[in-house]
Homo-oligomer: A and B are copies of this chain.
């Protein structure tokens, strides 16, 4: 097939899957050129087996050498930054300045872990005194942290760099001595591939064992499920939605050998505004709040989704101000059409509840994958009675 980007499996590349997919531009809905494959069962097995072999060597490599590997990844990402960010803009519709900042953060994370693991006191070893005279006698006893084994990483759609293939989870797993098999997010496969190639190259250049890193692509959930179920995989890491995270947690826990699954999942990020503060500076607060809510079209994981405040005498001024700011905010392209549709459905479900009202909504611009800032209000007592409505609606 023309122009297929391969899986990265240790030192090699592989094209073996049957199902192909392409990413779409969230700016226009146009299908992008680059062609990708769902990883096959053989590829999943090969990546896991190589990772298991690599683990036996990698866990015993000195922290100084592991630090060089992490630093090399950061340098290669910086060298290739221009191309990666260009591709990432096409796949994510996130603005250039934001992605430049995210690239900086990604490299900082890698370097931070490199520095940390070279500190003597980073991995504490607890050693207890021998007490042969005690009843019962206490033997020589040492407690220390050891690497757990190959880790499967699930990249996030909304942070295609800092919480994806070379993100914080990868940096920490590699720092700890665990090989990483990254499952690339299907919304940015090309970005994942370019980042994955930097890690593969860094591993070769710093003489890391073959299999210390692999990148498997997949649009179907099956790729991730099979990976997390593989007996040679010993932990999972995830950033994404509550439902996605919980589905994967079940797989990790229901294996014959359950494994730890570290998930950073969606949240409404509740914000409490104290009445005194509101009284004094409701204009600044409303501007800051709406700015925070709409930053990158509300796709930040720290995006405030629930604001709690008392019904005081400035509440109407505050809400008017919120309405004014929101009316003057533009809508923008979300990460994908599906995400935009979920957002619209979430807003509809809230406003159809009968007790939640729309305060303000930015003008509809009829652009592709539109995310249209919206503020709703509700008396607290109704939400307390209907806690299902206190669920994240991902968006602005």
Contacts and interface: CB of A to CB of B under 8 A. Distances in A.
Of all A-B residue pairs in the complex, the 8 with the closest CB atoms, nearest first, are A253-B253, A249-B258, A250-B254, A249-B253, A250-B253, A246-B258, A253-B254, A254-B254
Interface string A257-301: 010000000000000000000000000000000000000000000
Interface in A232-265: 246, 249-250, 252-254, 258
Interface of A: 101, 136, 246, 249-250, 252-254, 258
Question: Would you call the interface of chain A mostly helix, strand, loop, or mixed?
Answer: helix
Nearest to A256: B246
A224 B114 CA distance: 45
Query: How many identical subunits does the complex contain?
Result: 2
A374 B250 CA distance: 39
Contacts of A253: 249-250, 252-254, 258
Contacts of A250: 253-254
Contacts of A258: 246, 249, 253
Contacts of A246: 258
A250 B249 CA distance: 10
A15 B3 CA distance: 72
Nearest to A136: B101
A254 B248 CA distance: 11
A229 B24 CA distance: 42
Contacts of A252: 253
A121 to B, nearest CB: 13
Contacts of A136: 101
A15 B252 CA distance: 39
A18 to B, nearest CB: 32
Contacts of A254: 250, 253-254
Given A249-B258, A250-B254, 8 more contacts: A246-B258, A249-B253, A250-B253, A252-B253, A253-B253, A253-B254, A253-B258, A254-B254
